[in-house]
Amino acid sequence: MTNCPTLIVTVGLPARGKTYISKKLTRYLNWIGVPTREFNVGQYRRECVKIYKSFEFFRPDNEEGLKIRRQCASAALNDVRQYLTEEGGQVAVFDATNTTRERRETIIQFAEQNGFKVFFVESVCEDPDVIQENIVVSLGSPDYTNCNTEEAVEDFMKRIKCYENSYETLDEVLDRDLSFIKIMDVGQRYLVNRVLDHIQSRIVYYLMNIHITPRSIYLCRHGESELNVKGRIGGDSGLTPRGKEFGKKLSNFIQSQGISDLKVWTSQMKRTIQTAEALNVPYEQWKVLNEIDAGVCEEMRYEEIQDNYPLEFALRDQDKYRYRYPKGESYEDLVQRLEPVIMELERQENVLVICHQAVMRCLLAYFLDKTAEELPYLKCPLHTVLKLTPVAYGCKVESISLNVDAVNTHRERPEVGITTYNHTTTQPQLMQQQLH
């Protein structure tokens, strides 16, 4: 993506969404395979000053406070340096107000000394409703555990005021040599300056596509398919009677949710389309939502794979995320091809995605910030809908089983040494595998 590590630096008054953006961006970059970590200076401050007393700490004339805050920023930058130079990090997100040119200059010099590229992300917003909403999120912070809402809001407003006088927003002219994006009024307007490389370009594209309008994303698999009941992977079979039953139940469920303007997406495989047909609403077919291509193993049972391709079978259990089926795909490949789906999901509002096990695991991992190691083992059973609703810095998940029986297609992560799957028992046998 980029030759040298990138340091993303947030800029903005409190309650402008900096941490929201930092966390979301970090989640996205990690999901597409760019090792990224966020460094929230507020957190360093909380570790340093165990008990938060009041906004007075942030007063510009509070020498003690200033000293501590500077130390915390330094400590955070130190950890940034370690992450990017010694721990294999590619991108670090330095999340703080960074509202003065002086502070930003310090960071720029730090980056120059270490050979990092710097990209600023500023959030500017004067809409009182939005700020109020944001403050509610901030009130969930440890700073305010012992306050009632009114006190907390009042203190937070005073905290914001402490920054306002010295706030130097990124300027077209004064900061013309810096690389940055200025997000104005929650994405209504953007100023983008000097995008230097591929990763910055992707970051800008992502930031320009996200929004904060409340909505829900529904993920589910197709109804139970003929190949499912035969214990075979892949293929393009149709639904069993139980699978069709799921379609009907799904239709009822969706109607009961009372969503205005729900978009429905399917793959181009028969089983997802059949499921969508039961809803009696328009839907869009996406080829990139097709199930993972198992290559030479398509339509085989796991025991057949183990018999015919014992080495492949073992390799897959060793690293299920990176393992690519011969003439097929890996989960890693899947994530690449699903990226446009994620981007469009970010743009959209209420969407139901009817897809497949491996595909659903990838999408879920994005929303729930799961690692590459966890992703291939996420539980996505048939006939169950996951309802994802963004809340605060993350995502609320509701799992709704539609009470239609189906086979279980989930394989647990094998314990070290377990490599055989005996279909006559439900417990995998412990065996040492001889690798050829």
Residues that bind its own copies (CB under 8 A): 172, 176, 188-195, 198, 201, 204-205, 208-209, 236, 238, 244, 247-248, 251, 255, 268-270, 273-274, 277-278, 280-281, 283-288, 298, 327, 333, 336-337, 340, 344, 347
Task: State the CB neighbour count (10 A cutoff) for residue 132.
Answer: 12
Residue 273 C-beta: closest distance to its own copies, Å: 5
Q: Of 68 and 281, which CB lies nearer to its own copies in the complex structure? A: 281
How distant, in Å, are the alpha carbons of 32, 96, 109, 148, 203 from that of 199? 11, 21, 21, 42, 6
Q: Which long-range contacts (CB under 8 A, 24 or more apart) does 142-149 make?
A: 142/46, 142/52, 143/46, 143/52, 144/52
Q: Of 304 and 344, which CB lies nearer to its own copies in the complex structure? A: 344
**Residue 383 marked ligand-binding:** no
**Residue 16 marked ligand-binding:** no
Q: Label residue 185 left, alpha or beta by phi (over 0 means left) and psi (-120 to 50 means alpha).
A: left
Task: State the CB neighbour count (10 A cutoff) for residue 415.
Answer: 10
Q: Retrieve residue 386's tokens.
A: 């996951």
Out of 38, 222, 329, 356, which one is annotated catalytic?
222
Report whether 121 contacts 183 (CB < 8 A).
Answer: yes
**Residue 271 marked ligand-binding:** yes
Q: Which helix (H) or strand (E) holds 194?
A: none
Residue 210 C-beta: closest distance to its own copies, Å: 11
291 is annotated as an active-site residue: yes
Q: Retrieve residue 68's tokens.
A: 């501590």
Out of 245, 291, 329, 339, which one is annotated catalytic?
291
Q: Of 66 and 192, which CB lies nearer to its own copies in the complex structure? A: 192
> What is the distance between the alpha carbons of residues 183 and 193, in angstroms, rounded to a whole number?
12
List Cβ neighbours of 146 (8 Å cut-off, separation of 6 or more).
none
**Residue 225 marked ligand-binding:** yes
Residue 191 C-beta: closest distance to its own copies, Å: 5
Residue 214 C-beta: closest distance to its own copies, Å: 19
**Residue 222 marked ligand-binding:** yes
**Residue 226 marked ligand-binding:** yes
Q: Of 160 and 204, which CB lies nearer to its own copies in the complex structure? A: 204
198 is annotated as an active-site residue: no
Residue 3 CB-density burial (10 A; 0-12 exposed, 13-18 middle, 19+ buried):
exposed
> What is the distance between the alpha carbons of residues 105 and 100, in angstroms, rounded to a whole number?
9
Residue 254 C-beta: closest distance to its own copies, Å: 10
**Residue 221 marked ligand-binding:** yes
Q: Of 18 and 244, which CB lies nearer to its own copies in the complex structure? A: 244
Q: Of 153 and 178, which CB lies nearer to its own copies in the complex structure? A: 178
How would DSSP label each residue in 322-347?
Answer: T---TTS--HHHHHHHHHHHHHHHHH
Residue 194 C-beta: closest distance to its own copies, Å: 6
- Catalytic residue ranges: 222, 291
Binding-site positions for substrate read 221-228, 271
